[in-house]
Chain A
């Protein structure tokens, strides 16, 4: 049996996934509850000839991985709330310059320093709109270590496919909880490698001229093609431009390359969803409580299920609308004040049937917490 079975933290599962996906460069700064990712990579990356650097701050970490991505490497940084706030300008740069990179945010309570060692899911909207200006972004999440591993691989694949930063929105419970991980064999999960230009030496290479399929082949810094990368609006050469058409076209390109592929990017899991009259929508560690409750209630014959979201941005509107079409009530289970609930209300046919079951005190929402709210929704008293 070649199976590699580990009993590890979620943060370690993320590291395993990143290395499986081909991570070669990590820059980070210590912050709870994500620090184990940096610690483990400082040990494992040099063993594979990769590079780890602890930068002077969160901003520098984000900038360093963008620089390393441009030399042709798969890159990642990891942080939590306050660090995620600091990284936002550079994340916007990666959006604008179309640099593949992965940012892990192991969420803790906010705002500000907040509740560093306790769980929260309060950064959902920040992942979407943390950096200034119109843009698109991909944000993924997972509720158990096998999925943390797989979704981390996915994050690298999507970053390369769409030349975009991808945010992995984990949370403190998933990050620090220990459970089993079976590391897949090499080749079991497909890996997307960097798409490099086929344009030869001495021939003009246009770094920002999309191919017919919309993808932009890259050329490594240090290679044969010398070009300009900037956070300013730019033309196909990468040179700054404020020509109204260039500005408009580039902004459309940056948003459309992700938003029009929402159905391809959408990731979700269905738990007891067939014939469900009550649907819980959840993600991350709160989904574990929702799934637990659904299993328990199914045993008693109740028609209740869970739609577990694994991609939060672009928001999987079509999936949510379709799955919730026949539900008597939709209960969004999350650990914030309704950030995903508002998205759900905006896309379902009957928003008045959408309710929030949340907990915002730094403690994991329990099946009992959800049960109490469900009783009220079902008109069975408190």
Chain B
């Protein structure tokens, strides 16, 4: 199938700003789905609120655009009630880890077979550029006119600690890598987290003098390195990219199926 067969062209043009990285996330994610040859009827995309969340409207899957921070809770209901479906849950950084932080760690703890995608642009874009739990200290935002003093979450470490059985990080600069990571995350049985750094030139870039979209992509190129690479070993200041966790642990829906068998045996 061509990539446009996965899009709802009826709903275009999209609402993202020129230079926004979210279109690249959409592109790489759909190419992963295409490469895997998944049936569109088998995919449910659940999203919350924010620029990132609008991605669910543009894809020709079953799409559930929900309320702020709760996409994973809705997705849990969809998945547990129909485990054969493939759940994709793109979220913004504030959506996933501020208002939705509790759902994020608990979905990871359950290891329910959902692919969570944290589209990290380090800012609340839709509301006009407020700092997020992934902005980090020393940054400028419309709610931090002097500078931020909040520490940031490390999505990879947080996901690992919470129990996610697949954890990866990539960026919108590294599109081939992103496609491969999405493919592995979607195929993985269990809770998968993919953090993808995605540029917001309109708010984050402008406020923090990171230049236009091209400049911001070059920053991703220059400040990250593959896990296990010599560059990363030699320069710990670089941010690691790649797959950090990929392990087999009991998946929630499969475990619940065993509970059903147990309960039915008890009645019989």
Contact = CB atoms under 8 A, between A and B. Distances in A.
Given A63-B74, A226-B41, A90 B67 contact: yes
A351 B78 CA distance: 49
Contact of A24 (B8, B73, B81): B81
B84 interface: yes
Contacts of B82: 71, 221-222
Contacts, number: 134
Interface stretch (A41-49, A253-261, A269-277, A309-317): A41-49
Interface string B210-235: 00000000000000000000000000
Contacts of B66: 63, 66, 93, 231
Nearest to B266: A47
Contacts of A159: none
A138 interface: no
B159 to A, nearest CB: 16
B77 A221 contact: no
A228 B56 contact: yes
Given A63-B67, A67-B81, A222 B42 contact: yes
Interface residues of A toward B: which range?
A: 35 or more
A83 B194 CA distance: 32
Given A25-B81, A46-B264, A51-B80, A223 B75 contact: no
Interface residues of B, number: 42
Contacts of B106: 55-56, 60
A226 B40 contact: yes
Interface string B77-119: 1111110110000000000000000110010000000000000
Chain A residues touching B, majority SS: mixed
Q: Is the interface of B mostly helix, strand, loop or mixed?
A: helix
Contact of B76 (A64, A221, A230): A64
Contacts of A221: 44, 62, 64, 78, 82, 85
Contact of B80 (A43, A53, A63): A53
Interface of B: 8, 10-11, 40-42, 44, 46, 56-57, 60-67, 70, 73-82, 84-85, 102-103, 106, 256, 259-260, 262-264, 266-267
Given A46-B260, A239-B10, 10 more contacts: A25-B77, A46-B263, A51-B81, A64-B73, A64-B76, A67-B46, A67-B75, A67-B79, A68-B80, A75-B77
